Chains A and B, each alone.
Chain A
Amino acid sequence: MHPPINNHTKTKGFVFSLEATIALILFVLMLVALPTHNTSSLKELLILQQENDLLRVWSAKQSSTQEMLSDIKLLFGENGELWINETQLNKAKVAKNSISSEGIILDDSLKENKIRIIVKYD
């Protein structure tokens, strides 16, 4: 004759399972919160320097709009955007981040031109 199964055991077992469940939840939470490695670079500074180079060169040597667009394409590819006097002359590829530089360049007739270069990057 076998003794009856103790139901109390099941209750205790459930308590232990709850503990294990909490441990599992904590484990998943810790997995989510694992430290991720962020890479640091000087990309932003370089883009800013390149934009400054363009403005500096255009101020030293008069350039037409087409030349400016060509220079931007040479340096930034399809990521550069040119605005002259608040008019957008080309459209860059869509990206997460952008860096903008602005300068005023005088043309031959000493007319002020507000030049803005926007570079988009991921």
Chain B
Amino acid sequence: MNITNEFSKHSKSWNEQRPCLCDSRKCNAFTWTYFTIINSRGIIFSLDAGISFTITLVMTLLFATVLAQNAFSTETEIKNFELEEKAMLIVDSLVKNYDENNTLLGACILDIDKKRIKTNETSILNLNNAKPIPFGEIYVESITLKTNYLQKTFQIETRMSTQCINVKRFALIDGEKRVIEVKTCTPQ
């Protein structure tokens, strides 16, 4: 089989450029040259394609990983944010409102003469009357009163929790300055 003639079928230009001579030594030399060029080009092209392919692959993997991580952290963050938001709403209501049925929703002192609520002023009695109340997927576990020297905790509800957040506010409790720390959790 004449290799050069086989090539000439596929490559007219090659045939035009390098007419086949049936001398076996020359045919071998042409074949060697042809394959050398193909191989050289092929190697370089393959290297380039290889780099591009590897980069594309690595980039796809990297972006997929980043997207997956982002999705996971966003989900966690939304849950944390929801907990933080609700905890802050509950504590703000506790130190700024008055609710006679459940002081967890408002423990401020009511000034009947002035017909107004004394914000940031509450009493131990009011805090003692705090009852558990469902706030969607979260619950208030405890209220703690703190000073530099003492600490008093009112346990509201005990459940198995996955995550808890403490929100601190400052108020007058029976005329004494205290930090009110409310622990809000998500149940298991």
A residues contacting B by CB (< 8 A) are 1-3, 6, 9, 12-13, 16-17, 19-20, 23-24, 27, 30-31, 34-35, 37, 39-42, 45-46, 49-50, 53-54, 56-57, 60-61, 63, 67, 70-71, 74-75
Contact = CB atoms under 8 A, between A and B. Distances in A.
Interface stretch (B7-15, B51-59, B129-137): B51-59
B44 A50 contact: no
Contacts of A67: 177
B77 interface: yes
Contacts of B63: 34
Interface string B67-85: 0011001100100110011
Given A2-B29, A57-B171, 9 more contacts: A20-B47, A27-B58, A40-B77, A56-B119, A60-B118, A60-B120, A70-B148, A74-B148, A75-B170
Contacts of A71: 170, 177
30 contacts: A3-B29, A3-B32, A12-B41, A16-B45, A16-B48, A20-B47, A20-B48, A23-B55, A27-B55, A27-B59, A30-B59, A31-B62, A34-B63, A34-B66, A35-B70, A39-B77, A41-B80, A41-B84, A42-B85, A42-B88, A53-B171, A54-B170, A56-B119, A56-B120, A63-B177, A70-B148, A71-B170, A74-B148, A75-B168, A75-B170
Interface of B: 29, 32-33, 36-37, 40-41, 44-45, 47-48, 51-52, 55, 58-59, 62-63, 66, 69-70, 73-74, 77, 80-81, 84-85, 88, 92, 95, 118-121, 146-148, 167-172, 175, 177, 179
Nearest to A2: B32
B88 to A, nearest CB: 6
Nearest to B48: A16
Contacts of B29: 1-3
A19 B69 CA distance: 31
Contacts of B147: 74
Contacts of B59: 27, 30
Nearest to A41: B84
A4 to B, nearest CB: 9
User: By DSSP majority rule, is chain A's interface helix, strand, loop, or mixed?
Assistant: helix
A60 B167 CA distance: 22
Nearest to B45: A16
Contacts of B177: 57, 61, 63, 67, 71
Contacts of A45: 88
Contact of A41 (B81, B92, B170, B171): B81
A60 B118 CA distance: 9
A88 to B, nearest CB: 21
A70 B95 CA distance: 21
Nearest to A39: B77
